[in-house]
Copies of this chain bind each other. A is one copy, B any other.
């Protein structure tokens, strides 16, 4: 069943109207008739099923049926932060990360980042990544849409890290030294509904200076197993391991 994210808070007995891109998707792409039922996801992780009751030239009107009961979101809010990688790797992290339950995608210019994006390029990329997250969230039955923030500088990124309860840095050197205990220890001992930030380097890795700055703000270095994972693979490993620990082992 198709899912759409509405950029509004849920109110009971409200009239449900879809316009714009989602209208286009319902009417022209999916060609849904009156009577079809879809999921509508609101802010604060509220999702309802709703039946299409009327379609005009620019609006789809729906009637709420019932709330979705099964919880589809990770029990902690996980933000993934990547040093700007090359090519379309952030696009892969946006799509797969959303499927795997990521709450926020952040990216920042790391010392070893090869790409340089001016403000125009950055905002364009941000909009594109958000669109990928939205499509993936609809397809994977998320109840919440991940947010996307591309930072203009390392310093502006570093400032936002204070918003999180726990900050981890995936560090290749930790993996090489066989240091594998920290990650499991950290994610198994989180207080309820923690905000977790996990930082990943670009292809060239995180520089020793950056590691020092992350450690100064209280970040813990951790390895993700004995194999060397690519810049775009490590965030997916991290999210899958978290889902396994929190949702399957419970």
Q: Is A49 part of the contact surface with B, judged by Cβ < 8 Å?
A: no
Stoichiometry, as copies per complex, reads 2
Q: A81 CB to closest chain B CB, in angstroms?
A: 19
Question: Does the CB pair A244–B247 fall under 8 Å?
Answer: no
Q: A144 CB to closest chain B CB, in angstroms?
A: 11
Q: Is A159 part of the contact surface with B, judged by Cβ < 8 Å?
A: no
Question: Does the CB pair A141–B241 fall under 8 Å?
Answer: no
Q: Is A100 part of the contact surface with B, judged by Cβ < 8 Å?
A: yes
Question: Does the CB pair B243–A237 fall under 8 Å?
Answer: yes
Q: Which residues does chain B contribute within 8 Å of A142, judged by CB atoms?
A: 227
Given contacts A180-B247, A233-B99, whether A141 and B228 have CB atoms under 8 Å apart is: yes
Q: Which residues does chain B contribute within 8 Å of A243, judged by CB atoms?
A: 225, 237, 241
A interface residues, tally (CB under 8 Å): 35
Q: Is A149 part of the contact surface with B, judged by Cβ < 8 Å?
A: no
Question: Does the CB pair A139–B230 fall under 8 Å?
Answer: yes
Q: Which residues does chain B contribute within 8 Å of A100, judged by CB atoms?
A: 227, 229, 233, 237
Across the A-B interface, give the 10 residue pairs with the lowest CB-CB distance, nearest first: A240-B240, A241-B244, A237-B240, A184-B248, A140-B227, A72-B226, A225-B247, A225-B243, A140-B228, A141-B228
Bound together, the chains give a CA A229 to CA B245 distance in angstroms of 17
**Interface of chain A residues 46 through 90 with chain B (CB within 8 A):** 70-72
Q: Which residues of A contact B (CB under 8 A)?
A: 70-72, 96, 99-101, 139-142, 178, 180-181, 183-184, 224-230, 233, 236-237, 240-241, 243-245, 247-250
Question: Does the CB pair A248–B178 fall under 8 Å?
Answer: no
Bound together, the chains give a CA A22 to CA B45 distance in angstroms of 52
